[in-house]
Amino acid sequence: MNKTIYVGMTADILHPGLINIINEGAKYGHLMVGLLTDKAIAAHKRLPFLTYEQRKLIVENIKGVAEVVPQEEWSYVSNLLKYKPDYIIHGDDWKTGPSCNERAKVFEVMKQLGGEVIEIPYTKGINSSGLDKEIKAIGTTPEVRLKSLRRLIAAKPIVRILEAHNGLCGLIIEHVEVNDEKGHKAFDGMWSSSLTDSTSKGKPDIEAVDLTTRLQDLNNILECTTKPIIYDGDTGGKVEHFVFTVRTLERLGISAVIIEDKIGLKKNSLFGTEAVQIQDSIEGFCAKILAGKNAQVTKDFMIIARIESLIAGKSMSDALERAFAYVEAGADGIMIHSKNKSGDDIKEFCAEFRKHNANTPIVVVPTTYDHIAEEELHSWGINVVIYANHMLRSAYPAMVEVARTILENGRAQEVRNLCMPIKEILELVPGTK
Ligand code: SPV
Ligand code: MG
């Protein structure tokens, strides 16, 4: 009887090591490739450059591959139990390092199944993680970047976005990561905030900084990053203007624009009812959403409708009525905003919205209810969390402290420890040397 041999892979970047495993595996019989889905990968590393379908098409056509099945989890175990292969083949590099626990589990399962684990010498000098770094260095294209937000929303329990108002913020968001017992954590993308874009230019957040000006910083961010960007489109302006904004953003590879349902002179939402702000009519805002949807060229660009009812002191039912109407008008997602410190109103909104709508992504900006952690937001049915202003808010007090200390001392020695070392700043941006 033909024996089955299982091999798990991402296959985003094909390299001789993979071909070697396939060739070796095929010698044992029917080679089944467990191809990791975006979901399986997203919790552990960046999303693959290619979509699952694209990777599947490639792997299916490699000589020696008999069958491709989805591997929905990072661990091989559930697929081994499902398909009960006679063998599993893996490079011997998993004997040490982060994969050695997985190796132990695989040995146990294969023993239980009466199968065997085949380990082959790993192809020196080439592995997917090393190539991963290289692909980051290659960068991205507007099309790939644009699509990546929808893919992340589909693949991750919650998508984590941080504000960026210049290229340096972009670099931090692109590269900072934490590896702890809960696994690998990084930011998934960037928020181009009207508040911090305006503030960083010394202007008020009242739509006074126009699109062209904001695009200058955005362009710097695009140049040094690969992650998706969500653009804060304020009110979207006049319908006749919004259609151009959509096209411009889409052409640059921005993934989404969020527009808020206000008209007239916009003031920042965190003023709540302290500032006079007028909410648009449902019909008026739906017309703007629809015009934007009709203007976009790709099917991937997202227009997310931001509901200001709770900010404006209106009722939950007003917020919900608007949410359903905006989705009906074509909105690809809902952002529900609040300046309530408890987060209870957001939780209630999500519960009610999800009773009637299971899939439309919900976006939140937990600036005032910042004690609620991502896991809990996810449990409420939220898909995207935006940390909307924290890069600017953290930089400002640090800069003021340095300025004041120099004045007090008449020299800069006392701020030395408040500053990054010269060596570090010279090495921060590749190519400076
Ligand atoms: C922004 O970051 O500009 C926002 C979010 O619109 S908020 O400041 O909370 O209104
Ligand atoms: Mg804003």
From the CA of 388, give the closest atom in ligand 1.
Answer: 2
Q: How confident is the model at residue 432 (pLDDT cuts 50, 70, 90)?
A: confident
Q: Which atom of ligand 1 is nearest to the CA of 163?
A: 2
Per-residue pLDDT of 331-344, as tens digits, reads: 999 999 999 999 99
Is residue 134 very low, low, confident or very high in pLDDT (cuts 50, 70, 90)?
low
Instruction: Establish whether 205 is a catalytic residue.
Output: yes
**Cα-based torsion angle of the residue sequence 203, 205, 206, 210 in order, rounded to the nearest 10 degrees:** 70
Query: Ligand 2 centroid vs 251 CA: distance in angstroms?
Result: 22
Task: Report CA 138 to chain centroid distance, whole Å.
Answer: 19
Beta-carbon contacts of 113 under 8 Å, excluding residues fewer than 6 positions away, are: 80, 81, 84, 85
Query: What pLDDT is stored for residue 10 in this prediction?
Result: 92
Instruction: Look at 56-60, 271-275, 297-301, 332-336 and tell me which has the smallest mean pLDDT.
Output: 271-275
What is the best residue among 194, 207, 234, 267 to mutate for testing ligand 1's pocket, by most ligand atoms within 8 Å of CB? 194
Ligand of minimum distance to the alpha carbon of 311 = 1
Contact in structure between 20 and 7 (CB atoms under 8 Å)? no
Q: What does the pLDDT read at residue 24?
A: 94
* Distance between Cα 393 and ligand 2 center (Å): 14
Q: According to the model, what pLDDT value does residue 429 have?
A: 86
| Lowest mean pLDDT, pick from 179-188, 201-210, 360-369 | 179-188
The residue whose C-alpha atom lies closest to atom 7 belonging to ligand 1 is 269
Q: Which residue in 309, 332, 333, 305 sits closest to 320, CA to CA?
A: 309
Residue to substitute in 191, 195, 340, 385 for testing ligand 1 pocket (most ligand atoms within 8 angstroms of CB): 195
**pLDDT 10s digits, 276-286:** 889 999 999 99
Q: Among residues 205, 217, 261, 280, which one is catalytic? A: 205
pLDDT digits (tens, 9 = 90+) for 286-307: 999 999 999 999 999 999 999 9
The DSSP letter of residue 174 is H
- Average pLDDT across the chain, whole number: 94
pLDDT in tens, 376-389: 999 999 999 999 99
Nearest CA to ligand 1 atom 10: 269
Ligand 1 pocket, mutate which of 389, 390, 391 (most atoms under 8 A from CB):
389
The confidence score (pLDDT) of residue 234 equals 97
Which residue ranges have their beta carbon within 6 Å of ligand 1?
193-195, 232, 268-270, 365, 367, 388-389
pLDDT exceeds 60 at position 1? no
Q: Which atom of ligand 1 is nearest to the CA of 191?
A: 2
pLDDT score at 215? 96
| CATH tag, 3-129 | 3.40.50.620
Determine the pLDDT at residue 129.
63
pLDDT in tens, 186-195: 999 999 999 9
pLDDT at position 96 is 83
How far away, in angstroms, is 402 Cα from ligand 2 center? Answer: 28
First to last CA, the chain: 62
Amino acid of residue 131: L
Query: What's the pLDDT score for residue 70?
Result: 98
Tens-place pLDDT, residues 341-364: 999 999 999 999 999 999 999 999
Q: What is the pTM of this model?
A: 0.90
Residue 136 in this model has a pLDDT that exceeds 70: no
139-388: CATH topology is: TIM Barrel (3.20.20)
Is pLDDT of 201 > 80? yes
Q: Are 403 and 415 in contact (CB under 8 A)?
A: no
More confident residue, 14 or 255: 255
Nearest Cα residue to 361 out of 149, 151, 153, 152: 153
Quote the ligand 1 centre to 332 CA distance (angstroms).
Answer: 19
Q: What is the pLDDT of residues 74-126, one digit of tens each?
A: 999 999 999 999 999 998 888 888 788 899 999 999 999 999 999 998 776 66
Instruction: Name the least confident of 36-45, 63-72, 93-102.
Output: 93-102
Per-residue model confidence as pLDDT tens digits over 20-32: 999 999 999 999 9
Digit-coded pLDDT (tens) for 394-406: 999 999 999 999 9
Is the pLDDT higher at 130 or at 348? 348
> Does the pLDDT at position 132 exceed 80?
no
Token pair listed for 121: 């010498």
188 in Cβ contact with 155 (< 8 Å)? no
CA of 56 to the centre of ligand 1 (A): 40
Helices (H) and strands (E) in the chain, counts: 17, 17
Ligand nearest to the CA of 206: 2
Ranges of each domain in the chain:
3-129, 139-388, 394-428
